[in-house]
Amino acid sequence: MGEFIGRKILVLGGSRGIGKAIVRRFAKAGGTVAFTYAGSKDAAEALAAETGAEAIQTDSANRDALIATVADRGALDVLVVNAGTAILGDPLTFDPDAVDRMIDINVRAPYHAAVEAARRMNDGGRIIVIGSVNGDRMPFAGGAAYALTKSAVQGMVRGLARDFGARGITVNAIQPGPTHSDMNPADGPMAPAMHSFMAIKRHIDADEVAELTAYVAGPHAAMITGSFQTIDGGFGA
Ligand code: NDP
């Protein structure tokens, strides 16, 4: 598993959950990996010590800091935008500032990070955003704001794939369904309802999402672009 030896990889939001599994996957395959985090300093430092990856504290909601962090990495081979938050519940009770912060992290940050990475990215590079099957399907109440952010990722992926295609840079979204993490624990209160929408009724493992991400970032995926790679146990079927 040395397919990323000599490759420079940045994972935005890598300290926990799906991002952590992605950092581990690329590091195990020999990549030179850096990742960002916002609040989880201890977890980030532990992951850096475990994998040899570099941990960088950058809040994705801070646009200028995010752009500077991406620019500082120079010519990347792979950018993975994983950082995301979810606000679920009765929209009539949401704090509008919290909704806007989610939009900043889930929509504005992927766009600005992708564009900044592409300025310096090596030809044949990979830009991957962790979207969600909720970009395609929102089968329960309370998810409108979150779903709008993940549908927005789809439009961005389609457009940027065309902007950067001449350089062989691919732009794709990975769209997980319910995946075990702090955000969505397999034994959480919403798990039975989520499983009811799935053909295979269990949470996805973060390592399964990381494996698909590595495939899309790898040498066999040069012609996969502008696409949404869904890994959802049939949630959206
Ligand atoms: P977690 O809440 O478990 O982890 C989120 C990660 O993103 C943490 O490393 C966190 O870092 C980082 N992060 C969050 N906000 C920021 C920020 N403002 N700046 C920098 N980093 C940030 O979430 P998951 O692992 O479950 O989710 C990861 C992605 O996958 C998200 O985009 C989510 O929408 C998507 N997804 C998740 C699904 C699921 O069921 N779990 C299903 C479909 C999509 P820190 O702790 O340091 O703040």
Residues 6+ apart with CB under 8 A from 193: 140
| Statement: residue 1 has pLDDT above 90 | no
Ligand 1: residue of 15, 25, 81 to mutate (most ligand atoms within 8 A of CB) is: 15
pLDDT value at position 74? 97
Spacing, Cα 69 to ligand 1 middle (Å): 18
* Pocket of ligand 1 contains residue 135 by CB under 6 Å: no
Taking the centre of ligand 1 as the mean of its atom positions, its distance from the CA of residue 13, in whole angstroms, is 6
Q: Is residue 97 part of a domain?
A: yes
CA distances from 107 to 81, 135, 146, 148, 155 (A): 10, 12, 10, 9, 10
User: Which is catalytic among the residues 37, 111, 146, 215?
Assistant: 146
Find tokens 């929408």 and name the residue.
197
CATH of the domain at 149: 3.40.50.720
Nearest atom within ligand 1 for CA of residue 179: 40
Residue 3 lies in a domain: no
In short, whether 149's Cβ falls inside 6 Å of ligand 1 is no
Sorted by sequence, the CB contacts under 8 Å of residue 127 that are 6+ apart come out as 79, 81, 114, 117, 118, 121, 160, 164, 169, 170, 171, 172
Phi, psi of 19 (to 5 degrees): -60, -40
Residue 218: Cβ within 10 Å count: 15
Q: What pLDDT is stored for residue 209 in this prediction?
A: 98
The domain tally of the chain equals: 1
13, 26, 27: which is closest to 85 by C-alpha? 13
How many whole angstroms from 93 Cα to the centroid of ligand 1?
23
**Is 2 within a domain?**
no
| 237 found inside a domain | no
- Average pLDDT, stretch 48-73? 98
Mean pLDDT of 140-161: 98
Question: Looking at residue 212, what is its pLDDT?
Answer: 98
pTM summary value: 0.98
Please indicate whether residue 61, judged by its CB atom, sits closer than 6 Å to ligand 1.
yes
Name 172's Cβ contacts closer than 8 Å, sequence gap at least 6: 126, 127, 128, 129, 157, 161, 216, 224, 225, 226, 227, 228, 229
Sheet containing 228-231, strands listed edge to edge, beginning at the edge strand earlier in sequence: 54-57, 32-37, 8-12, 78-81, 126-130, 170-176, 228-231
Tell me the residue range of the domain where 204 lies: 8-231
In a domain, 172, yes or no: yes
Q: Is residue 122 part of a domain?
A: yes
pLDDT tens-digit series, residues 115-149: 999 999 999 999 999 999 999 999 999 999 999 99
* Confidence grade of residue 82 (pLDDT, cut at 50, 70, 90): very high
